[in-house]
Amino acid sequence: MAYREDKDLEFLGEMSSSALNDLVVCLSKDKEGGTLWTEELTSQDEYKIHYPDHSKYWRLIAAEVQCFGANSLVTLVRGGKGVLYREVLGDVCDKLSVKHPGEDSTLEVENKLIAKMLDNAMQQMSETERSDFAKIVGITNLKTFTPASLAAAMQIAFRAGGFKAFHLTLVVTNSVSRAILGRGIALAGNATLLKTASLLSGPVGWALTGAWTVADIAGPAYRVTIPAVLQVALLRKMYQADRDGVLKDIEDELAKS
């Protein structure tokens, strides 16, 4: 397994070990907590030496993301190298019928993917569940909570970025992880984000989880890839917010919700 230089994954090298922990678990553990038979990360010497200081071997983590998105035979021919993250993201988008034109940034494509997944989930909810969901994520200016009105509000939120876009990404990442991997994200070292994710552990959370459990997104080829892509999307937002000096502000807003 070898890392391919990838501009869309380079930011992982600036993330803390605690921030990377959920991605490592996603890439290496099955529903029962055992080691995935398809993973290569935990067999690497660098992993064995530095675990759980994930930041020391972030390239191995990135390489595992790339390899999960590639055909195993093709990976072998490439000398153990997978595909670039943008191709992994594109495959997931194709699976979920999300358009991802080349002129869109990777962040924009990730936002479209998350918005589409939320839209699909809204279709499965009752109006009461949609209303409760909207209140939790701070969408309070709607007269009705139809799937169409919520979809439009979420698209506006993603275009604007900031708190709501971050919150929606956190919600999707956590609930899809529960639906596919059987566990929510732990968000090690960040009590505020963990508290926020846990807000969706009641009826609305189960409605979200149920929507993705019955959807055809948990097949063998995507059981790791979809949650991993969502983890990367969440980490990218954390990284960007930290660079922009607004991560603490976002965390403060989440703490109030």
DSSP 132-196: HHHHHTT----S---HHHHHHHHHHHHHH-HHHHHHHHHHHHHHHHHHHHSS----TT-HHHHHH
Residue 1 lies in a domain: no
Lookup result for tokens 């922990």: 21
Q: How far apart are the first and last CA of the chain?
A: 42
Residue 5 lies in a domain: no
Residue 134 lies in a domain: yes
Residue 3 lies in a domain: no
Cα–Cα dist 119/181, whole Å:
21
Closest residue by Cα to residue 234 from 196, 199, 208? 196
**Is 55 a residue whose pLDDT tops 50?**
yes
Provide the domain limits for residue 194: 10-256
Closest residue by Cα to residue 200 from 189, 192, 188, 208? 208
pLDDT tens, residue by residue, 209-252:
666 654 555 556 678 888 899 999 999 999 998 888 888 887 77
Cα–Cα dist 229/204, whole Å:
23
Contact 36, 113 (CB under 8 A): no
Contact 90, 246 (CB under 8 A): no
Q: What is the pLDDT of residue 202?
A: 60
Q: What percent of the chain has pLDDT over 70?
A: 80
Average pLDDT over the chain, rounded to whole? 82
Q: How many domains does the chain have?
A: 1
Q: What residues have CB less than 8 Å from 7, skipping those under 6 apart? A: none
Cα–Cα dist 10/176, whole Å:
25
Residue 2 lies in a domain: no
Q: What is the pLDDT of residue 109?
A: 96
2 beta partners: 81
**Is 149 a residue whose pLDDT tops 80?**
yes
